[in-house]
Structure 1
């Protein structure tokens, strides 16, 4: 799968890379440091990502602002977007689902728990018919 990973924290990026490597996943991870950079990547790519993993708390453009933009665009509206965040704020969760996310995953503190959650996310989306279409 092609995965657009939008995250401003270098440590979180390293955690994702480590997890993908450790699980021996062959996914192509495209990294963006913020929503603005992610929009540039989407607009300049000839192929859309299969899924987007999105942090909510970022500089310049929040994850919610990014979601509002892509879900309003007919070219990107149906891209499965999974929020990967530390925010346990119920208002954030509900707002993200209102806008149209495919999932909301809270980043756990322990690496082993993070790895297990990411494994589940990747396994689900590898078998999902929308990604295969």
Structure 2
């Protein structure tokens, strides 16, 4: 039974322009109804989230897809800052990175990541991963009502 109403709002922190295009194309191909927004690094990510925090009419994204290896502020530092922030700490954060390193996986979960996904190498695999994320976050999990737009 679908619980979600409307498109899933996803903020993607990804420094690689080609990966941003690939993700956008994969979301279109997957048929997942999303509103995508991109930032290029952790500094821009926190600026965007803090701006929404300051403006009550601007809602936070439903999900954050976070790359670990970015310039200025990497994903680990950004995740730490998000989890330390009162209004942002509930934001579901999915690490989406090329790293398969056990240390990166362990540290990401220690810092409060909700999931850790290694970027698939093939487009069709990426599309399948995005469909799975959509199904999990839109149809399966239960989040507080104030976390999901369109819920009472």
- Normalising by structure 1, we get a TM-score of 0.95
- Of 10, 23, 26, 1:19 maps to 26
RMSD between aligned residues:
1.2
SS across alignment from 1:129 = coil
**Runs of 4+ deviating beyond 4 Å:** none
- Which protein has the bigger helix share? 1
Q: Show structure 1 runs of 5+ residues with no match.
A: none
| Aligned length, in residue pairs | 133
Residue aligning to 2:3: none
SS across alignment from 2:76 = helix
Residue aligning to 1:116: 128
Question: How many angstroms apart in 2 are the aligned matches of 1:87 and 1:123?
Answer: 24
Residue aligning to 2:15: 8
Question: How many angstroms apart in 2 are the aligned matches of 1:8 and 1:84?
Answer: 12
Residue aligning to 1:129: 142
Higher relative contact order (CA 8 A, sep 6+): 2
| Alignment of structure 1 residues 91-106 onto 2, 5 Å | 91-106=103-118
Larger Rg: 2
SS across alignment from 1:61 = coil
- Of 88, 91, 99, 1:76 maps to 88
Question: How many angstroms apart in 2 are the aligned matches of 1:24 and 1:118?
Answer: 9
Q: Show structure 2 runs of 5+ residues with no match.
A: 1-7, 53-57
Question: How many angstroms apart in 1 are the aligned matches of 2:75 and 2:98?
Answer: 12
